[in-house]
Structure 1
Amino acid sequence: MKTTCLALAAALLCAPALATAAPATTLSPEQTFDLYARVLLEDDAAAARTLNDALRPAFDGQDAVTPTPDGLAAAMAAPLQALLAKSGDTSGGSAVPALLSANLHNTHCRADQAQVRDNASVARGKIAAVGFTCQVTALDGLRPLFEAAVREDSSANLTRFTDAYLAALRDGPRQAVRGSLDLYPAGNGAGWHSANLDDLVAPVVNALLPFAVWSQEAAALEAPKVTGVPGCDLLLQQHRQCLARTAPDQVPGVDAMAEELKAKAKVMTPEAMTRECKALRSMAEAMWGDDCG
């Protein structure tokens, strides 16, 4: 799942422009994060009131957040409903939003710590980097079922996977995932706020909707071995195939990229190479446009 879909967080919690009135209550970065998480993931009305009460003086008397109950669950439901439809399930799809909503309510993303640093972009500005942990449903055990469904693409295989997946969402084991969210001063000592909650949502969405990542990792194992790092080899294969169709004159640039990555793979760890190629993929995909994927 591409991170662009995470922009839905901004739509779910809309915020007006900042003002400069004195706050009634000042929340710490950790308290602020916890309230955002409870509003966005758990549909906690009391958390929304507390957050708005604290931030309202800094937002010209308006509410800082306008929650959309079950909005995130509804947005996440679409790919699951598409899978169920493909498997031939004509009734289970309608229950997916409520199932996801119940799952999100138990995700419990909470702040562990916050580190405040200077904001190099704003004179005398600060940034609070809040580290947090979320309790998400553990889905790695379902990966063989998913890979079987992709490999053979039969209705029976897909049904086995979707049945196991929905059961896991209902009452499967959970595991901890970590993330970090930057918060910024709300103005005039009024605590902290976020204008972009994608970094809060991302660990949860990536954990519950891992299909794109699983598919890409499976494809990487089949890519021609150039660097020996699956993510890098898949990138080179896809980039070459795309440019061969859309910009053949740029294919020599892929050869140069391959040689550079091969040289780096001799001195860098596989983990570091994977991170580098992930960053390169973002740039390559920007070149591909709609003609490649």
Structure 2
Amino acid sequence: MMTTSRLLALPLLLCAPLLATAAPAAGLTPEQTFDLYARVLLEDDAGAARTLNDALRPAFDGKDAVTPAHGELAGAMAAPLQSLLAKQAGGARDSAAVPALMAANLRQTRCRATHAQVRDNAYVDDAKIASVSFTCQVTVLDALRPLFSAGLRDDSAENLKRFTDAYLLALRDAPRRELSGRLDLHPAKDNDYWYSGNLDALVSPVVDAVLPFNAWRQDALADAAPKVTGVPACDLLLLQHRQCIANTAPDQLPGVEAMADELKAKAATSTPAAMTQECKALRSMAEAMWDDDCR
């Protein structure tokens, strides 16, 4: 069945130019700035790109500050499903239509700022940070989980087609739910305008909502992992880490067992939510020790 790689390397070309020294610009609020970013990046809104460039152009010697790549995000998000469709008989026609369908879905996401809180930057004298809270409307895909699980158990042509047909239909017609997030914006010189140095906080939640398949796959694997802590994320981490270290560095297995004992003891006194967060953090460190075959 399909797994989805992280799309954090998407071309966030809206960020880098904004680190330049600014001259006075049209005064966009943090909320307005966020909305324009979202409309340009997620919705391919050419009007929003013009508005943002008009506001920032004095800071860039009369040049455009953002150069959006039309359809690039939708194309990157569509690629995993296109690969799956390409394996199916007669899937070429459906495959070609996926980027446009994904783009139409993203245009309805409507990520918008709800409010912003400006605070002092603890690391830069006399500088501020605007924490912008936002909501997005993302497609509800929960009904697809049984079809996805069936494909994991048996990746037959029938199961794959059943899942891809349902997913394509959901992209077009499924109801939506509200997703909340927060993005930090930083001011340029003299607080003339706001910019984001990293738009992952906007892009990643949307990608994860529209392409939840890697998370679903991890959930399925966690359900089958030996119950050491009783917390699925921790138990799956321990299983995968133990298997990888056994193959690549068996002399380090005592360290894995020590980590298992420590997590088991913590789980006895901590909440599942806190343990899940801790094991997510531990995963990034463990994965640094894994080779490609372990991932």
Indicate whether the TM-score tops 0.5.
yes
Superposed CA offset, 1:128-158 (max 9, x none): 1111100011001110011001111111011
**Percent identity among equivalent residues?**
66
Q: Partner of 2:185 in structure 1?
A: 183
2:18–2:195: 8 Å Cα contact kept in structure 1? no
- How far apart in 2 are the matches of 1:113 and 1:17? 24
Whether the aligned pair in 1 keeps the contact of 2:233 and 2:280 (CA below 8 Å) is yes
Give, in whole Å, the separation in 2 of the partners of 1:122 and 1:2.
35
What SS is found at the alignment partner of 1:7? coil
Q: How does 1:221-232 map to 2 (within 5 A)?
A: 221-232=223-234
User: Aligned to 2:9, which of 7, 10, 13?
Assistant: 7
- Which residue number in structure 1 is paired with residue 29 of structure 2? 28
Q: Distance in 2 between matches of 1:33 and 1:12?
A: 12
Q: After the TM superposition, which residues 83-102 of structure 1 pair with which residues of structure 2 at under 5 Å, given as runs?
A: 83-88=84-89, 89-102=91-104
Structure 1 residues 189 and 198: alpha-carbon distance in aligned structure 2, compared to 1, 3 A threshold: same
Partner of 2:55: 54
Aligned residue number for residue 167 of structure 1: 169
Q: Relative to 1, partners in 2 of residues 1:166 and 1:12: Cα closer, same or farther, differing over 3 Å?
A: farther
Name the Cα RMSD after superposition.
Answer: 1.5
Specify the code of the residue in structure 1 equivalent to 2:278. Answer: E
Helix, strand or coil at the partner of 1:42: coil
- SS of 2:182's partner is strand
SS in 2 for 1:117: strand
- Runs of 4+ with >6 A deviation: none
Aligned to 1:234: 236
Matched positions, count: 291
Pair 1:63-2:64 in alignment: yes
Task: String of CA shifts for 1:154-209, please: whole Å, max 9, x gaps.
Answer: 11011001000000001111111111111100222322011221111111100111
* Residue from 199, 212, 220 that aligns with 1:218: 220
Query: Is this contact kept in 1: 2:81–2:95, CA < 8 A?
Result: yes
Output the CA distance in 2 between the equivalents of 1:129 and 1:183: 6
2:75 alignment partner AA: A
Q: 1:268 aligns with which of 264, 267, 270?
A: 270
CA displacement at 1:283 relative to structure 2: 1.1
Q: What residue is the counterpart of 2:42 in the other structure? A: 41
TM-score by length of 1: 0.95
How far the C-alpha of 1:61 sits from its partner, in A, is 3.1
Q: Is the 8 A contact 1:109 1:133 kept in 2?
A: yes
Does the 8 Å CA contact 2:15/2:196 hold for their aligned counterparts?
Answer: no
Partner of 1:132: 134
Cα distance, 1:249 vs. partner? 1.3
CA contact (8 A) 2:13 2:67 kept: no
Cα distance change on mapping 1:12 and 1:56 into 2, 3 Å? closer
Query: Which sections of structure 1, spanning at least 5 residues, go unmatched?
Result: none
Pair 16,37 (structure 1): closer, same or farther in 2 beyond 3 Å? closer
Deviations 1:244-264 (A, max 9, x none): 111111111110110110011
1-side partners of 2:159 and 2:188: how far apart?
51
**Cα separation, 2, equivalents of 1:17 and 1:223:** 46
Letter in 2 for 1:68: A
SS at match of 1:251: helix
Q: Unmatched 5+ residue regions in structure 2?
A: none
The match for 2:73 is: 72
| CA–CA distance in structure 1, aligned partners of residues 227 and 155 of structure 2 | 26
